[in-house]
Structures are given as C-alpha cells and as structure tokens.
Structure 1
C-alpha cells in the first residue's frame, strides 16, 4: 500500500480535483457573461461515503469493474454539472451574475488552498512518523 493511498489523502486529493473542475465551470460562466441565452452552471456538492472515505455516488453511473468505460462527460469526482438557480435574467436571456460568480471563485480558491495545506501537513506528519524528517 502506497502512502498516498491512505483514505485521508485520497479524500483530500478528490476534494482538490472537484474544486479544480468547479473552478473551470466558474471560469466558463464568467467567460460567457455576455452570451445571449447562457445559463450559469455549477457542480453538485462533493460528498464522501463515511464507510469507505471515497466520493459517494450522486446518482450517476459508476465504474464497478476496472474494464468498464467511464461515463461520457465525466470530468472528475462529483463532476455532475447542473444549472444554477438565478434570480437575475437579462433581456437577452443571459443569467450570469458576475458578482455571484466572483464570490464563488474566491470561496472555491480558499477551500482549495485549505485542502492543499491539509494535504501537505498530512504528508509532513507521515514523514515525521517514519523518521524521514
């Protein structure tokens, strides 16, 4: 078993991948802020199965055997884009609220930095435990 296969590290890695995918969608929302008829998208919240520590299925297809093909459009753990509820829709049909998207981007960035910091501290703790530091 590799050190990076520990459940805590796997959960942090999944969380960071989810946040990278979410940042991509937020950037797409901002980039299409002037496109007529564009609706902003976001990812469903990432949840972990308490028993296994792996991302819980969110009603999407799952790989049950290594030989199976990944579902189309799967961009990482929890990558289930959904339309967001927005109160402001311009006459052109665009529903992107730049202030809201910038708040999401800032929150997402701070959450990513927290997960990355926890990942690094966990690795440092493991190094201390095995005497490599």
Structure 2
C-alpha cells in the first residue's frame, strides 16, 4: 500500500478535484451571463459517510437527532414548520438566470475551500514524513 492510498488523502484528493471541476462550471456560468436562455449550473458536493471515504449511497453509519435542537439527519423528516426553501434565482426577460454577484461569491468560496483542502493534504503528507523519520 502506497502512502498516497490512505483514505484521508484519497478524500482530500477527491475534494480538490471536485473544487477544480466546480471552478470550471462557475467560470462557464460567468462566461455565458449574456447568452439568452442560459441556465446556471453547479455541481453537487461529494459526501463521505464514513471516515474511510465511502461515498454516500454505499452504506455507512446512520445519524439520529437525540435532542430537539439538533439538525435533522439526511433522509429523516423535518419537524413541521422548520423546513426552509432554497433561495431562487432571478431570470431576466431573455431567459438567462445567471446572477454575477452570486457566481462571484461561489467562486471565492470555492477557491477558499480548495486552498483549505490543499493545505490539509500538504500537512497530512508532512505529518507522515515526520512519522517515517524523513524530515
């Protein structure tokens, strides 16, 4: 087993690749901001259900709300009156739904999250080097 095959490093690599792909989609949204009828797109974030890197839908550990103030687990019914609607996007008369301010906010958040994942990846490799005695 190679050092780079560790589950935590695999999850961080997957996360960084997702951020790269998302940055491309956001850039396409901005580039097509004036194209009539264009609908903005976004990528669904990968979810890891277990510490070993299992992607959602392949099993994992269940969650339960043990107190009324806790967040409702995925797949469970939310208490009545606590559901929230996703904020809709505005559509111009040309049919274009790209909001440049929202896209720029997404791009900034995406960049910060990518830098965090890259930093964690580098720190994990550094910790492994220290443990092996190469540093």
1:58-105: CA deviation from partner (whole Å, max 9, x where unpaired): 9xxxxxxxxxxxxxxxxxxxxxxxxx9743111100000000000000
Moved runs in structure 1, 4+ residues, more than 6 A? none
Match of 2:29 in 1: 29
Gaps of 5+ in 2: 59-85
1:34-59: CA deviation from partner (whole Å, max 9, x where unpaired): 0000000001121013163133359x
TM-score for both structures, normalised by structure 2:
0.75
Separation in 1, partners of 2:94, 2:43: 24
Choose between structure 1 and 2: higher strand proportion.
Answer: 1
Separation in 2, partners of 1:49, 1:116: 21
Gaps of 5+ in 1: 59-83
1:50 and 2:50 aligned: yes
TM-score for both structures, normalised by structure 1:
0.76
Secondary structure at 1:29 match in 2? helix
Bigger mean CA deviation after superposition, 110-119 or 38-47: 38-47
Match of 1:12 in 2: 12
- Decide whether the 8 Å contact of 2:15 with 2:117 is kept in 1: yes
The total of aligned residue pairs comes to 108
- Decide whether the 8 Å contact of 1:23 with 1:105 is kept in 2: yes
Once superposed, what is the RMSD of the aligned Cα atoms? 1.8
